[in-house]
Structure 1
Amino acid sequence: MTDEATIGAMLTISSKTYSAWSLRGWLLCRLAGLDVTERQVPNDAANRAELLLLSPSVLVPRLTYQGASVWDTLAIAEFLNEQFPEAQMLPADPIARAHCRSISGEIHSGFTNLRSALPMNLKVKHEAFPVFSGARPDIERIETIWTDCLERYGGPFLFGAKPTVADAMYAPVTTRFVTYAVPLSPPCEAYCQTIADWAPMQEWTAAAKAEPEEIEELDVEF
């Protein structure tokens, strides 16, 4: 077994193709400038016991750094922001910072219809896809959030010229919209392209496309 004390920082993740939460945690580490050793846990049910040992909530990602073990993406975001304040993972302005935290919390805890109707899959791109009607309010709300941020802070990222925690949190949503050909307003389409062109996102996507084709998913969202 890897000795975590010898590697500095370890991020336990799941599939790069399917795991939105893993992508968020990994992007947060990139935002912080933290170089992590990745530990990828296969997604088959045989590894459930190992996941339970890694994280009491059976969720990935899990960041291990300087004696701390942090799971849950918002907890990872706040931990990294405390450890690396110079990275400016949150906006400097207190009003914008509160806004960033609010919309990050909203995507973290909501949009369940969107999650179930349009699961993340970085290896597929549909020309057209029938979107479940129950997911449409989620899509409309996300468009409202993005449009407001882009207009208020000037883009190309949600809070201006550089990515923040909010962009890491919404990055998997942009991939869902592209995968399932969801019609969006021009500003929201442009934002999806901004995330797709973001260097860490390109690195993750390339690794996802190199993963094996077949996995067995856990019986929880990962």
Structure 2
Amino acid sequence: MKLIIGNKNYSSWSLRGWLACKQSGLHFDELTVPILGEDWEHVKTSTSDLAPSQGKVPILWDGDAVVWDSLAIVDFLADKVGRDRFWPKDDAARAMARSMVAEMHSGYLALRRTLPMNVRKRLTLPGVPEDVRDDVVRILTLWAEARARFGQGGPFLFGTFGAADVFYAPVVSRFLTYGIGVPGFAQAYMQAVWEHDWMQQWIAAAEAEDWVIEQYEMPEE
């Protein structure tokens, strides 16, 4: 398999696709393309592997099969290796995990727009807009319920690392970047995600990147 991803410092959806591939346990090669760089328009049109997704990342190739969109990648990989690798076995837990992933996939637009992922940055914001605060409260509420109801088996949302953690990992990064205050249980969860071996690999690669996308860089003040 081959996974095509964007800049590791900025591309939250690429992180999800990459973590999903790691979670599958299957071997994959990765190709990083410099999204939104000076030659991005040329890269999009000249890289045949990107054609099916019209330049959107992540995109996963498995022989002749091509899958774009991070949620589709999770579903495709779960079909290959078994859903239990990604989703809780318990029906109630699995229902909540799937709903949380779907909500992350389609929602929290204010959070995404206002606080873009930037792994390398650490900022102190004087405050956040009300719509962003509403997204943060909603996320923390879901995290609290998942941990209270189904998190007894480990430090992650449903105990062991799975699809829900794959999808909320970029949120963890955003909360750390922008100094979003969270309660103790969320701090512990975020630490578990941040210190996960795969996240540490991604972070190290993001810090080693030498390109900067100015629209995702925010002033210190």
Equivalences for 1:22-37 in 2 at 5 Å? Answer: 22-37=14-29
Alignment deviations for residues 125-154 of structure 1 (CA, whole Å, 9 cap, x no partner): 124453222201000000001000011112
Who is 2:45 aligned against? 49
1:49 CA displacement? 2.1
User: What's the offset of the Cα at 1:217?
Assistant: 6.8
Partner of 2:219: none
- Tell me, which stretches of 5 or more residues in structure 2 are unaligned? 217-221
Tell me if the contact between 1:32 and 1:87 (Cα under 8 Å) persists in the aligned partners.
no
Give the equivalent residue in structure 2 for 1:158: 157
CA contact (8 A) 2:88 2:158 kept: yes
Aligned partners of 1:86, 1:98: CA distance in 2, in Å? 13
1:67 aligns with 64
The number of aligned residues is 209
- The residue type paired with residue 196 of structure 2 is W
- TM-score computed with the length of structure 2 as normaliser: 0.88
For 1:34, the aligned partner's letter is L
Shift of 1:184: 0.5
1:97-117 CA-to-partner distances (Å, cap 9, x unmatched) read 121111000000000000011
Q: Distance in 2 between matches of 1:129 and 1:123?
A: 20
The 5-angstrom pairing of residues 157-196 of structure 1 reads 157-160=156-159, 162-196=160-194
2:118 is aligned to 121
Q: Does 1:110 align with 2:99?
A: no
Root mean square deviation, CA, Å: 1.9
Give yes or no for contact 1:51–1:59 (8 Å, CA) kept in 2: no
2:176 counterpart letter in structure 1:
V
Match of 2:74 in 1: 77
Q: Determine the C-alpha separation between the residues in 2 that align with 1:114 and 1:51.
A: 31
TM-aligned CA distance change 1:67 to 1:191, over 3 Å = same
**What is the aligned partner in structure 2 of residue 11 from structure 1?**
3
Query: What's the offset of the Cα at 1:86?
Result: 7.5
Question: How big is each residue's C-alpha offset from its partner over 1:172-214, in whole Å with a ceiling of 9 and x where there is no partner?
Answer: 0000000000011111111111100111000000000000142
Matches within 5 A, 1:133-148: 133-148=130-145
* 184 and 42 in structure 1: CA distance in 2 versus 1, 3 angstrom threshold: same
TM-score by length of 1: 0.88
Note if contact 2:53-2:68 (Cα within 8 Å) is conserved in structure 1: no
Match of 1:5 in 2: none
Quick one: which amino acid aligns to residue 135 of structure 2? Answer: D
- Which one-letter code corresponds to 2:111 in the other structure? L
Paired letter, 2:156: F
SS at match of 2:123: coil
Structure 1 residues without counterparts, runs of 5 or longer: 1-8
Displacement of 1:60:
0.5
